[in-house]
Amino acid sequence: MSATILDGKVLSQEIRAEIAKQVAAMKASGGPTPCLAAVLVGDDPASQVYVRNKEKACEKAGMGSIMHRLPADTTTDQLLDLVAQLNADASIHGILIQLPLPKQIDETRVLDAVNPLKDVDAFHPENVGRIVQGRPRFLPCTPHGIQQLLLRNRIPIAGQNVTVVGRSEIVGKPMAIMFMQRGEGGHATVTVCHSRTKDLPAVTRQADILVVAIGKAKFLTADMVKPGAVVVDVGINRTDDGLVGDVDFEAVKEVAGQITPVPGGVGPLTITMLLHNTLAAARLQSGT
């Protein structure tokens, strides 16, 4: 029997409707209109698509959005100047620096310069530290979306063996930390795999929940999955056959119990949790 599809698109619409109601209530009570400022450097086609989608999502949720498009030859100092302006602007509640940045820009310096209260991607070391300590201000958008996908589909996490394939700062590391924390969405036994992991298939076959985020098309094959496991595919790879994930979907769905598709799985939830964080940032900054 094929796996049940975990539809991130439908769930994201439900959560966005919830967020829109909360935004409307905040504005009706005299609070601010939550506003996200996105910064795009250069003309990377994928980044332009992501940013446009974020703008549309903000509009539908009743939020404000401001786009700053900078040329590809922008310097680190020029980008830092813009970040400083956005930090000082009280009408801006969230700041998003679209990654990747051109090679001449010091990415770490730029991300570290964002005010932690406006860091809706949760990349600032202060916010990362709070996640590690179990008292997050914001949760990173993709891991948070995955956590919500599991929780809202009533998939048990506590006590489960969870394997995260990939150790990126954006997905792998924070995802592992969130799964191991106390509280809802946590209490799992977590394994993190990467390029130096010995006998990777033997490790992944132990997982009740398997999160794959390494950026290699169709990397995870059916023989790497325990029958009945929950498989979450974070990958988005552009191939001659269109968008595919890090999981060989057609083969793995015949082994897994539940699986996310690409597209339509984790991707929509990432933007949804960005809206969630922008609303939270507006509340923090306005005291509402």
- Catalytic positions, written as ranges: 54, 98, 121
Q: Under a CB-based contact definition with an 8 Å cutoff, are residues 136 and 144 in contact?
A: no
Helices H / strands E in the chain, number of each: 10, 11
Q: What is the dihedral of CA 82, 120, 209, 188, to 10 degrees?
A: 120
- C-alpha dihedral over 178, 234, 204, 162, to 10 degrees? 20
Question: Tokens standing for 58?
Answer: 């903000």
Is the peptide bond preceding residue 263 cis, with omega within 30 degrees of 0?
yes
Residue 51 DSSP SS3: helix
- Pick from 125, 39, 144, 118: which is nearest to 279 by CA? 118
Residue 218's Cβ-count burial label (10 Å; 0-12, 13-18, 19+) is buried
Does the CA dihedral 11-14-17-23 come out positive or negative?
negative
